[in-house]
Structure 1
C-alpha cells in the first residue's frame, strides 16, 4: 500500500472518532441533568379507588393512601382526578360498624375481640355496608308478618298517668258551734255520715242565757206597742231597744226561722232548735243528748261534697308536663268503664323524698254524690302536643346502651340503624338522630328479625378460622 492510501485511511478514522464524540455530547446536552418533580393531585384508598383524600391518610387497616400524579392518565388503571380534591370536606360519622361484617355497631370508636378498629359509617354514604344488611326471603317476610311504618313529622303527645285518693274540698267544711252555753236535750241528727240539707234541724237545746234574751226581746216589743201615743223621741228609743234585743239573738246564731216563730207566737221558747247551715254530710259528731255544750265547742263537722278533690301523686320526672288549669280524666275502681272530667287547680310546693312524687290537686264536680272520700282513683293528664320526627314505639329495639331500629331497604333487605330518641309519647317516640323523614322502619316482627340476624352471626363465628397468634392484641413477652 502506498503512502497516500495510508494517509486517507487515517484521516477517515480521525473524522469518525470526532463525529462520535460530537454526537455523544449532543445527546448528553439534550437530556436534563435531574429528573423533573411530579405534582400530586390527591391520594386514593389503596383498595377502593372511589375513596379519595386531598392529604396523606391511612385506611381502616393502617395502609397508606396511594398518591395520584398529574401525568397519570385514566387508562393507566389509576383513579381519575377527584373533582373536589382541592378542598377537604368534613364528614359526619353516624356510628361505627364491626370490621368483620357482624351486625354489631357502636356510637363511639372501639375495637373488636381481635383488636381491630371498628369502621366509621358516614352520614353522606348513600348505601350502607352490605355486610350489615339483613336479607330475608319474601316468603319468610310473609310468614313473620313484617309490617313497616314511615318516620314522619307529627304531633307528639305524652299522657301522664298517676294514682290518687278522693278527698273532701277543704273550703267546703263547716263546724257547728254555739256562741252561748247550753244543754243538749234532743238530737235530730245522731249518726256520722248522715246526709243533711241546709236548714234541717240538728238538735234542740236549753240555755238560760237564751231564755233571758228572748224575754228581753218580747218585753221591749210589748213596751213599744204600749207607747204608740208617746212622743217621737220615746218611740225611737223603744225601737232601738227592740232592734238591739233582736240583733243579740242573731249574733248568737239563732236562725231566722226561730226568730220568726218567736215573733209570731210572742212567747219565750224553752228549747231552741239549732239547724244545719249547709247541705252536706256529717263527717264528725261530738254532740250527745244531755251533754252540756260550751260556747265555742264544735258539736258537728259537716262537709259539702257537691264538689270534691282528688289528690294525685305525680312522679318528679313528669312534673314539667303538668300545669294549673290542665284538663284531667279520672277513672275509679267503683265505676268500671266510666270516666269523670276534672281540672288541675293546684300543684303542691313540696316533694315527698320517700316516693319522689309531688301532690297535685284536681277538682271535680260531684252533684250526684258518686265520688266518696278515700276512693281510689286513676288519673290521666294529657300533655301539650308538639311537632317532632317520630316513629312507633314498637319499632324500637332496646339493647343495653344501644338503641336501634330496622330500616326497610326494600326487596327483603333490612338495615340495623342506631338512633337517638327523645320524648316518648303514648304510641310514638321522638327521633333526634339516625333517621330521616320518609324512611320506613319495621314495627312488627322486628325482634324476630334481629334475633335471626344475631343467630346467623353467632353460627358464622363458629365456622370462621381462628386468627394467627401474631394478630392477637396480647403479644406475650414482645
Structure 2
C-alpha cells in the first residue's frame, strides 16, 4: 500500500512539473512577443530648435522691456510769409501813377521809391498850408501893430486880445495843414522846403517801409489809385513761417517751444529743423483744428511761400513694450521671434507688431516683459530650424 501511494505521489509531482514547464514556456513566448513590439518614438516640436555652440557664438540675446516711445504726427501745412517781416505798401494820396520803379521779385531797401503819383489832392493840401503860413505872417504883424497902438493909447486892451486870438487861430490852421501834409506822405524836410520856397509840388512818392523782395505788384502806369488800395507787398524772406492745423483731440500732445521737422516734397523731401513758436488760443469751429506755427531760416531763399509741406511733431513720451527690429523673422506674411527656453534652445513664436521707433518695434501681442529673445542672428537660427525639419 505504501509503495502504491508513493508511486501515485511521484506521478502527481511529475504531472505538476510538466504543467509548470508549459506555463513557463507560454510566459516566455509572450515576453518575447512583447519585446518584439517596436517602441513609439517621441514626437518633436517643429517650432523648437537647438543650436550648436558654434552657432551660439553668432547669436546675441535681448531681454524684452519697455522703452519711452514718442509717436510722430504728420500734419499737412504750407509755407507762409512771416507777417512780422512783411509790409503792404499803398499810396498815401489819391493820384494817377506817373512812374513805376519797382518790378516783381526785385530786392528793395527801406525808404526806396517804388512808384510816383501825380496828385491834385496833394497840390491842394500844399496850397492850404502855404495860405496858412501867409496868414501867420499877417496876423503876427497885426498883433505887433496893436501892441504899439495900445501903448499909444489909441486902441484898448480888447482889440489887442482879439488880434492875438486871430494869430492863435492862424497858428492852429497852419499846424493842421502841416499834419495833413505829413498824412499825405510829405517828409518834414519837404514841408520846410515848401515853407521857404512856396512852390507847390504835386508829385507823391510811394516808398518801401522795409528791406526785402517785391512779392506782389498791383499797379500799372496811368492807373488812378486810392489810399485804401494795396499797390505792393514787400517781404523779407530770410525767414518764413510753416503753418499747420492740429486736430483738437491731439493738441495736448504738443507744446510751444518743442522741436519739429518740416519736410518739403518740392525740395526732394528735404527736412528742416524748426521750433514751434505759436499755438492758437481758439479752435476753428469748421475744421475742429488748432493752428500751430514754426519759423524756418531761409537764407538761400530756396523755400518759397505757398509751398506744401508736412510738419512732423513728436508727441509726449509713452512707455511701450518693444524689441529690436532685427529680432523679427518674417514668413508667409506673419511675424515671429525666437524665445529662449534654455541655453541654446529656442521656440519660434508668432507676435503682433506695432510702430517702429529708433531701431525698435513695439509688441502688441505674443511675448511678455522679461522674456529673452534672439536679437542678432535670428536669421541663422531660423535657417537651422528649417534644415532640421528636412532631416
TM category (shorter chain) comes to: 0.5 to 0.7
The yes-or-no answer on 1:416 pairing with 2:348 is: yes
2:118 equivalent in structure 1: 206
The yes-or-no answer on 1:218 pairing with 2:149 is: no
The yes-or-no answer on 1:384 pairing with 2:316 is: yes
Structure with larger RCO (C-alpha < 8 A, sep 6+)? 2
Q: SS in structure 2 opposite 1:391?
A: strand
Counterparts of 1:276-291 in structure 2 under 5 Å?
276-291=208-223
Residues 213 and 447 of structure 1, relative CA distance in 2, 3 Å threshold: same
Q: CA deviation at 1:194?
A: 1.4
Residues 368 and 154 of structure 1, relative CA distance in 2, 3 Å threshold: same
The yes-or-no answer on 1:153 pairing with 2:66 is: yes
Residues 421 and 320 of structure 1, relative CA distance in 2, 3 Å threshold: farther
8 Å Cα contact 1:204-1:271 kept in structure 2: yes
Provide the C-alpha distance between the structure 1 equivalents of 2:190 and 2:330, rounded to a whole number of angstroms.
75
The yes-or-no answer on 1:183 pairing with 2:96 is: yes
8 Å Cα contact 1:327-1:344 kept in structure 2: no
Q: CA deviation at 1:240?
A: 1.4
2:278 equivalent in structure 1: 345
Q: CA deviation at 1:153?
A: 3.5
One of 280, 289, 305 as aligned partner of 1:373: 305
8 Å Cα contact 1:405-1:442 kept in structure 2: yes
Provide the C-alpha distance between the structure 2 equivalents of 1:439 and 1:264, rounded to a whole number of angstroms.
95
Q: CA deviation at 1:446?
A: 2.3
Provide the C-alpha distance between the structure 2 equivalents of 1:400 and 1:349, rounded to a whole number of angstroms.
46
Structure number with higher helix proportion: 2
8 Å Cα contact 2:241-2:294 kept in structure 1: yes
The yes-or-no answer on 1:364 pairing with 2:295 is: yes
The yes-or-no answer on 1:235 pairing with 2:150 is: no
1:39 equivalent in structure 2: none
Q: CA deviation at 1:216?
A: 0.8
The yes-or-no answer on 1:192 pairing with 2:104 is: yes
One of 441, 446, 464 as aligned partner of 2:373: 441
Provide the C-alpha distance between the structure 2 equivalents of 1:147 and 1:313, rounded to a whole number of angstroms.
45
When normalised by structure 2's length, the TM-score is 0.66
Residues 360 and 139 of structure 1, relative CA distance in 2, 3 Å threshold: farther
Q: SS in structure 2 opposite 1:364?
A: strand
8 Å Cα contact 2:255-2:276 kept in structure 1: no
Runs of 5+ consecutive residues of structure 1 not aligned to the other structure: 1-99, 104-131, 353-357, 461-478
2:35 equivalent in structure 1: none
One of 51, 57, 82 as aligned partner of 1:169: 82
Runs of 5+ consecutive residues of structure 2 not aligned to the other structure: 1-42, 144-162
Deviations 1:141-175 (A, max 9, x none): 45xx4333222333223344567553323565543
Q: CA deviation at 1:220?
A: 0.8
Provide the C-alpha distance between the structure 2 equivalents of 1:285 and 1:300, rounded to a whole number of angstroms.
5
